[in-house]
Structure 1
């Protein structure tokens, strides 16, 4: 049995470790202090025992490149990408992960609609830059007072082919099992899975859903698909669009714009400009 190396917190110069947030197979994730910026940050550091692997090293540097060059209100902001040792420096986010929020209780329809519109917005931004996220799940969404931020670009890739099986069990799309035919529809699957999970606290294909990776179609699922509790009570248009998002056939999934069109009428309306002015005037 191979023993795991104890994290050492050997962060690059200028970054002081405060607490270990996660210790994965490839990365150590640290809550750290950025001496140059005078603020807390998150440092994703490539483990010392993986730095000889060029594929893993390149993946970390790619994540850093994307985080520091792409900018969107609902995408985690990157401060720096470092090469020696390979590390990504990210903003510290307030709030909680969507998975932590849903663990307490499912979200209401209006909140989920708002969440879906925000995630569709940032996914559309990535897609327009020819990138796919490929790991959308409640653990990778941080929510703070209604603002959703998509995190973790470690599996991001181009449309087309990818590493077979790359993704998270229970959330990866069937085409991710084979690593063929990756497209914006693959992220639509992740969006649908995430929103259904937020509404019903269950996944349509089971929490441990896996797909056979042998090159044949249709893919065979270990469990029969099931309808999550609570989804039947949703408005018909919303139920239909979320069910379509997790269709086994990528070509049958809706476009992000269609998802937004179905969800936007259910979002809590923003206060009108005149209402905001009246409220400010009343405080004077």
Structure 2
């Protein structure tokens, strides 16, 4: 039974084929049903096996059979069943309602806020993959779907088609069996075009190309035909988005062009940090990228093309999870209303070793402006000053001794009646890796029960470090306790 000879109504291992929904260059997708899974919409993916087909279809399907069942979470389709090449190979997975992002391309360009919202959800999906040791290597609109929206918020992005993916702990059959790089030419990262697989920031480059397309209606490098044309992006930069669409805000151009840097080291360190920028445009540190109105001249481009010493040395990274751990998002909760000089110093002392050991870490300084549950809260203090703005100013003053450059530190005032729940929700939404916060001595004696720090330590989805000033030694360090 060959993948191209299947017909509706046939049964494979109890799965009955319905309509053929898609016939691509590598595989076909069929609607299927099974008596053991009533009511569950499912797809069966079958590789193309006929004589003369691209052998990469077989190898790519082998890769997907190895990788996809090992992945978990809402950002990948749930695998129902799979079979190898001993008989009829197939992969059955849940069928997501709605079309892929490809369907939106007819309505481009999109507004900046919508581009950022879509990009943040896709970046969060990539972060989930990278934390599971997988690089997708084929991020493009047709491979991006979304789960149904819940509670008025957009549903999670779901990435499909793992035939070109790389798993750090599994054999890379694509690398072993083919000398030419595979990928989708309009979105392929420069290092991928040079044969380097396993670099997580290759996915960030591809997402940057998608964001460019959504924001301008055009592809940043066109649709090159052939590897030589793809490699042109190593030395020829794209037109700045704001040249094509002046309404594109500087912060969005900054993010897009950072994603499209030739050197992976100049892109965002992690997908989580990219998602953070897309969700907090007011905190994006603007560089010369944000103000570009034209691309580099031909003299500069030719110099990059022929001066091989000026090109980045693309290296195979040692591992995806290592890159994530080296560039975490660290949140420090600062209680400006109650804080003493000793506690301020203790918090900085607790935070200092973390950011010193991890040069790629992003620090988010957070203060919760507690709202009154029963009465409306005045936006201004007794002197007529905006309380939210005053807290932002105070946070920046608190953080000044840390000496962190713009771009590595951001400032956020959360308005909430429950500070602990606000911090937990912030950490969850922004994929925070580590929270540092202070606790009063009496709270520690009660083992943090009922305290903000205790609730955060118990329920936050990340590492939590609780610090307090050493007794009688204000300003001389912190006594940390991790949860």
**Shorter-chain TM-score tier:** 0.7 to 0.9
- Between the two proteins, the alignment pairs up a number of residues equal to 264
Residue in 1 that maps onto 2:279: 264
Which of 221, 240, 247 is the aligned partner of 1:227?
Answer: 240
How far residue 266 of structure 1 moved from its aligned partner, in angstroms, is 5.1
Which of 161, 186, 189 is the aligned partner of 2:205?
Answer: 189
Q: 1:11 to 1:168 in 2, by over 3 A?
A: farther
Matched ranges for 1:31-70 at <5 A? 31-38=31-38, 39-49=40-50, 56-70=57-71
With a CA cutoff of 8 Å and minimum separation of 6, indicate the structure with the bigger relative contact order.
1
Report the secondary structure of 1:207's partner residue: coil
Residue in 2 that maps onto 1:25: 25
Give per-residue Cα distances to partners, 1:63-88, cap 9 Å, x unaligned: 13432221122222221221231111
Alpha-carbon distance in structure 2 between the residues aligned to 1:54 and 1:220: 27
1:171 aligns with 2:184: no
Identify which range, 123-132 or 99-108, moves more after superposition. 99-108
How far residue 34 of structure 1 moved from its aligned partner, in angstroms, is 2.6
1:112 aligns with 2:115: yes
Q: 1:231 to 1:211 in 2, by over 3 A?
A: farther
TM-score relative to the length of structure 1: 0.79
Q: 1:243 to 1:211 in 2, by over 3 A?
A: farther
Q: 1:266 to 1:273 in 2, by over 3 A?
A: farther
Give per-residue Cα distances to partners, 1:164-221, cap 9 Å, x unaligned: 331112111122222126401111111111122122221111133754289xxxx435
Matched ranges for 1:1-284 at <5 A? 7-8=6-7, 12-38=12-38, 39-49=40-50, 56-83=57-84, 84-143=87-146, 144-145=148-149, 146-147=154-155, 148-158=157-167, 162=175, 163=178, 164-180=180-196, 182-208=198-224, 211-212=227-228, 219-221=231-233, 225-228=238-241, 232-255=246-269, 256-265=271-280
Q: 1:209 to 1:245 in 2, by over 3 A?
A: farther
TM-score relative to the length of structure 2: 0.48
Alpha-carbon distance in structure 1 between the residues aligned to 2:417 and 2:159: 29
Alpha-carbon distance in structure 1 between the residues aligned to 2:19 and 2:222: 34
- Listed as ranges, the gaps of 5+ residues in structure 2 are 283-415, 419-483
Between Structure 1 and Structure 2, whose CA radius of gyration is higher? 2
